């Protein structure tokens, strides 16, 4: 069975600083990987996804993530964060064939202050 | 992509009663999922609902407590039966689109049980 571990439950950063949110997965088969963002009192929004091809994936709002198969990681990065990036970020995995539901990590709260 | 709406957006219910949550999608989709997000927690898959077949429930969730209907390819309902305060959560409808590789989420139904 697959699983997702988000290594940091909370990440506080100052505005304009770089940030990395860590995500590791376990699966015995090929995977599809996703990052979602949930702003306060809002629904889930897809940030970016890795399905195949280039291991560096660019998403919305200046975020990017790199798929590292040998380290089974899919860390999310942004070179310079804004106050508006304050939100909950979820890493998710779908293993094997398409058509199965996503499995989510526990989430990382990113808090950006001035 | 897919646009998903849910009704009601929120509700406050009394212990022992039941609530039916509706999920409407703007396009026909084969696979639909129901998730629960308890306060401050990640998303947990309740069940997979495919049109024309019985819903498939995850470990810890049973049909008597969470009956699901899927009458057509654009609509589903989830009922939370005989509610207790522990059922207070956000319930989210989700669908697979984009070639069965990308999962989209509804805005959620915020349920409070007193």
pLDDT in tens, A75-93: 999 999 999 999 999 999 9
Among A3, A43, A95, the strongest candidate for a mutation testing the B interface, having the largest count of B CBs within 10 A, is: A43
Confidence of residue A97 (pLDDT cuts 50, 70, 90): low
Question: Which residues lie closer than 8 Å to B41 by C-beta, 6 or more apart?
Answer: A106, A107
| Contact yes or no for A43 and B107 at CB 8 A | yes
Mean local confidence (pLDDT), B12-34: 95
pLDDT in tens, A24-58: 998 777 788 999 999 987 889 999 999 888 899 99
Q: Which of A97-101, B27-31, B88-92, B99-103 has the lowest mean pLDDT?
A: A97-101
Among A101, A102, A105, A109, the strongest candidate for a mutation testing the B interface, having the largest count of B CBs within 10 A, is: A101
Taking residue A65's Cβ as centre, other Cβ atoms within 10 Å add up to 27
Name the closest residue on chain B to residue A39, using Cα atoms.
B107
Whole-number Å distance between alpha carbons of A37 and A44: 6
> Cβ-count burial of B17 within 10 angstroms (0-12 exposed, 13-18 middle, 19+ buried)?
exposed
Mean local confidence (pLDDT), A62-83: 95
Among B42, B56, B57, B110, the strongest candidate for a mutation testing the A interface, having the largest count of A CBs within 10 A, is: B42
pLDDT above 90: percentage of residues in chain A: 73
Partners of A98 on chain B (C-beta within 8 Å) are 96, 99-101
Task: Show the tokens assigned to A46.
Answer: 């897809």
Task: Show the tokens assigned to B92.
Answer: 């989210």
Partners of B94 on chain A (C-beta within 8 Å) are 101-102
Instruction: Quote the minimal CA–CA distance from A52 to chain B in Å.
Output: 11
The pLDDT score that the predictor gives to residue B55 is: 92
Task: Show the tokens assigned to B110.
Answer: 């915020």
> Among all chains, which residue has been given the structure tokens 């495919």?
B50
Whether A97 and A56 have beta carbons less than 8 Å apart is answered as: no
Whole-number Å distance between alpha carbons of B84 and B42: 20
């Amino acid at each position: 069975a697959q699983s997702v571990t988000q290594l940091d439950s909370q990440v506080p950063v100052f505005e304009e600083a770089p940030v990395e949110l860590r995500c590791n997965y376990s699966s015995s088969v090929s995977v599809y990987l996703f990052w979602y963002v949930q702003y306060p009192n809002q629904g889930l929004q897809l940030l970016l996804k890795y399905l195949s091809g280039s291991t560096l994936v660019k998403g919305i709002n200046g975020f990017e993530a790199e798929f590292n198969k040998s380290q089974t990681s899919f860390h999310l990065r942004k070179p310079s964060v804004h106050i508006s990036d304050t939100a909950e970020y979820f890493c998710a995995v779908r293993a094997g064939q398409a058509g199965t539901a996503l499995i989510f990590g526990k989430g990382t709260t990113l808090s950006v202050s001035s | 992509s897919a646009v998903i709406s849910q009704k009601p957006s929120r509700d406050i219910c009394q212990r022992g009663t039941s609530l039916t949550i509706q999920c409407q999608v703007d396009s026909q989709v084969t696979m639909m999922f129901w998730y629960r997000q308890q306060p401050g927690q990640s998303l947990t898959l309740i069940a997979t609902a495919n049109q024309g077949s019985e819903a498939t429930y995850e470990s810890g969730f049973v049909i008597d407590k969470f009956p699901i209907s899927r009458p057509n390819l654009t609509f589903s309902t989830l009922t939370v039966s005989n509610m207790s305060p522990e059922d207070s959560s956000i319930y989210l409808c989700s669908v697979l689109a984009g070639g069965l590789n990308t999962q989209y989420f509804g805005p959620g139904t915020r349920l409070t049980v007193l």
